[in-house]
Structure 1
Amino acid sequence: MSGTLYGVGLGPGDPDLMTLKAHRLISSARVIAYPAPDTGESFARSIAAAIIPASAREIPIVVPMRVDRFPAQDIYDKAAAEIAGVLRAGEDVVTLCEGDPFFFGSFMYLFERLSEEFPTQVVPGVTSLTACAAQLQRPLTARNDVLTIIPGPLPDVDIRAKIEEAQAVAIMKVGRHLGRLKSLLKDMGLLEQAGYVERASLPGQKVARLVDLKAETAPYFSMILIYKGDEAWTLPPSFSS
């Protein structure tokens, strides 16, 4: 019998936010796979580092970190082939994924290559979306509100149209687009309602009202949350972080 492929969500970064199932699978794993940059340490591995068994075989999936989209198909093809060899030999493979595997998670690329041939289990994780809302101390959405998740790199005209249709908005992958997004939201009269969170749950976390944020660029792990529905939810006047 072949082994089982596990896609394990690790949560946004704080190891305490891993689920009990994630902890159990990782701490007993004989083979661990995880995404890694071509320079520096793997963020996914760093979240789980304290519970990875010293005897575990590790399969880093090295994806170069670039501003523009990197054609990673060959990299995931190669990683899937290596993992398939382990699974065919009867070993389980626990694949680490920051956040949730199916919410902008890298595990989805292995899933589409391997799940038809091998038993596969996806272990959900706390998403950056809910982690940012928790740190911002404002609910995301309620009742019949429409929550729209928007990638920051989209053109202004597309972002504007999506925001206008929604009652609650999350803009992800803010990064170098921060200044442009601030200008757009100011033009739409939404700057005062927008909250900003970067590196949610991590030691370098920052939480602010977007109108108070002086920076024009942000890290990749950053998010803008807006609520414009019927509930009387407002942002705190200030944040300590």
Structure 2
Amino acid sequence: MTDRTPPGTVHGVGLGTGDPDLMTLRAHRLLTNARHVAFFRKAGRSGQARRIVDGLLPEGVTEFAMEYPVTTEIPLSDPRYNEILSAFYADCTTHLRQLAQAGEDIVVLCEGDPFFYGSFMHLYTRLKDHVPVQVVPAITGMSAAWTATGQPITWGDDVLTVLMGTLPEDELATRMAITDALVVMKIGRNIDKIRGALKTAGKYDAAWLVEFASMPNQTVQKLAEAEGKVTPYFSIVIVHGQGRRP
């Protein structure tokens, strides 16, 4: 980059829940004018974020697929997990930073909202002090999930708690018991643990399971009616609040 070439901007663009119709106008504008697009995916997969924008990217756009070196192969508690992912995010950051320093704008595709449990956050913290970074917020998957149930998630003074299914069962149960409304994410192989915690907290019969919220293959059912079912990655458990109302 020369003194006369201003740095480009890295845009972390939230794509929302998976339905392109729920994307923001700003996200759409950045996508349809992008020269460089980056996105996360599992090795050998096309990537959910990339699938969401099919047909929206301009001809000739340069794509940078950031393939996770690990997903569930190593337990989260294993020190190697953070070491491997940290090196991965550092490598991705180097590539994006070099593009931006050369004056190029880059759109990083983010499922849901970039600042809500998203991988983009790990790039953001490494980039923000070196090149311009802008974040485009979006609808989260949990919003689409509770909307799919046809019931409000909170009323009046209800407290909403968002939990990760990766937490220990006793901690899940404790937090579930003291909240009014509940969202549980990262279901997958944690489903049996989540069921047990909900039963301990006395909320099992009120829980809903929403899979692929806002996507063509969306399903909505009471969790108790999905016994024995292995839930996919895109699934969320919902318990509605029943608080104060006029």
Question: May I ask how many residue pairs the two structures share in their alignment?
Answer: 232
1:17 aligns with 2:22: yes
Residue 185 of structure 1: how far off its partner (Å): 1.7
Residue 65 of structure 1: how far off its partner (Å): 4.9
CA contact (8 A) 1:193 1:228 kept: no
Partners of 2:169 and 2:242 in 1: how far apart?
Answer: 21
1:134 aligns with 2:147: yes
Residue 14 of structure 1: how far off its partner (Å): 1.1
The residue type equivalent to 1:83 in the other structure is: L
Q: Over residues 94-146 of structure 1, what are the superposed CA-to-partner deviations in whole Å (9 max), with x where a residue is unaligned? A: 10001010011111011001011111110011101101011111112132221
1:28 aligns with 2:33: yes
Partners of 1:161 and 1:214 in 2: how far apart?
Answer: 23
- Identity across the alignment (%): 37
Q: Partner of 1:59 in structure 2?
A: 64
Query: In structure 1, the residue corresponding to 2:114 is in which secondary structure?
Result: coil
Q: Over residues 66-112 of structure 1, what are the superposed CA-to-partner deviations in whole Å (9 max), with x where a residue is unaligned? A: 32344311111111101111101111111000101001111101100
Q: TM-score, normalised by structure 1?
A: 0.91
Partners of 2:233 and 2:70 in 1: how far apart?
Answer: 11
Instruction: Out of 115-124 and 140-149, give the one that drifted further.
Output: 140-149
Query: In structure 2, the residue corresponding to 1:142 is in which secondary structure?
Result: coil
Choose the corresponding residue for 1:72, options 77, 80, 85: 85
Partners of 1:8 and 1:189 in 2: how far apart?
Answer: 39
The residue type equivalent to 1:58 in the other structure is: E
Partners of 1:95 and 1:179 in 2: how far apart?
Answer: 34
Against the structure 1 CA distance between its residues 231 and 206, is the aligned structure 2 distance closer, same or farther, given a 3 Å change threshold? farther
Against the structure 1 CA distance between its residues 231 and 176, is the aligned structure 2 distance closer, same or farther, given a 3 Å change threshold? farther
Against the structure 1 CA distance between its residues 231 and 197, is the aligned structure 2 distance closer, same or farther, given a 3 Å change threshold? farther
Query: In structure 2, the residue corresponding to 1:49 is in which secondary structure?
Result: coil
Any gaps of 5 or more consecutive residues in structure 1?
233-241
Residue 228 of structure 1: how far off its partner (Å): 4.3
Partners of 1:116 and 1:145 in 2: how far apart?
Answer: 38
Partners of 2:63 and 2:44 in 1: how far apart?
Answer: 17
CA contact (8 A) 2:177 2:202 kept: no
Partners of 1:26 and 1:223 in 2: how far apart?
Answer: 28
The residue type equivalent to 2:118 in the other structure is: G
Against the structure 1 CA distance between its residues 9 and 87, is the aligned structure 2 distance closer, same or farther, given a 3 Å change threshold? same
Q: Partner of 1:239 in structure 2?
A: none
CA contact (8 A) 1:179 1:217 kept: no
Report 1:152-163 matches (<5 A).
152-163=165-176
Report 1:178-189 matches (<5 A).
178-189=191-202
Residue 202 of structure 1: how far off its partner (Å): 1.3
Partners of 1:221 and 1:64 in 2: how far apart?
Answer: 20
Q: Partner of 1:112 in structure 2?
A: 125
Q: Partner of 1:101 in structure 2?
A: 114
Q: Partner of 2:3 in structure 1?
A: none
CA contact (8 A) 1:34 1:61 kept: yes
Residue 184 of structure 1: how far off its partner (Å): 2.7
CA contact (8 A) 2:156 2:244 kept: no
CA contact (8 A) 2:158 2:241 kept: no
Partners of 1:152 and 1:53 in 2: how far apart?
Answer: 38
Q: TM-score, normalised by structure 2?
A: 0.89
Partners of 2:107 and 2:200 in 1: how far apart?
Answer: 46
Q: Where do 4+ consecutive residues of structure 1 move more than 6 Å?
A: none
The residue type equivalent to 2:211 in the other structure is: E
CA contact (8 A) 1:177 1:217 kept: no
